[in-house]
Amino acid sequence: MAHTLDALDVALLSALGDHPRAGDLELSRITKVARATVQSRLRRLEEAGVIASWQPAVDVASAGFPVQAFVTLEISQGALDEVARHLEGIPQVLEAYVTTGTSDVVLKVATASHPDLQATLVRIDQSSAVVRSTSVMVLSTLVPPRTLPLLAAAEHKPSAHAPAYRRTTVAP
């Protein structure tokens, strides 16, 4: 079940995005709510799966893997589990998604060089469940991975616990 975010949740997530090393006290100063409120909200967001990881965001190109590509796979009927196991065994596969349309799976790969990309594509195709693959090279990043604009654009219920985020009604 999806967790409904309120304005304070979005403010906390935004503050974490702007200040990823900030502790609870600093986040309470930024959002103007009590430290205990920050701790409680972060715990709830983590338990609900909204905060999926506390790992740092790693730029794979800066880490020595500048060659990136998206690969689409058409796979044999009923072979999704087999393909998942195969792809999990290939460290160059960063992400893989089951999709609709002409492809069954879309994945993102990163390698240190073009020859490494070719070897990775060959390795992907070695699964007997992969019927066809198509790859497209990433030339540059137009919009980096992001979630905060989506969260900020969504309608949020007002927070009942944070005075700084309560809506005030102005009498006419």
Task: Note whether residue 16 is domain-resident.
Answer: yes
From the list 10, 8, 13, the residue with the least C-alpha distance to 33 is 8
**Is this prediction's pTM over 0.75?**
yes
Residue 102 CA to residue 93 CA, distance in Å, equals 21
Whether 110 is in a domain gets the answer yes
What confidence tier does 33 reach under pLDDT thresholds 50, 70, 90?
very high
Please report the pLDDT score of residue 156 as a whole number.
64
Question: What are 107-164's pLDDT values in tens digits?
Answer: 999 999 999 999 999 999 999 999 999 999 999 999 999 898 998 888 766 666 545 5
What range defines the domain where residue 116 resides? 67-137
- 172 is a domain residue: no
What are 67-121's pLDDT values in tens digits? 999 999 999 999 999 999 999 999 999 999 999 999 999 999 999 999 999 999 9
Question: CA geometry: angle at 154 spanning 160 and 5, to 5°?
Answer: 35
Q: Do residue 86 and residue 33 come from a single domain?
A: no
> Which CATH number goes with the domain that contains 77?
3.30.70.920
Q: 97 in a domain, yes or no? A: yes
71 with 52, same domain: the answer is: no
- Does residue 80 sit within a domain? yes
Task: Provide the CATH number for the domain around residue 39.
Answer: 1.10.10
**Residue carrying structure tokens 């949740």:** 9
- Domain count within the chain: 2
| Shared-domain flag, residues 32 and 94 | no
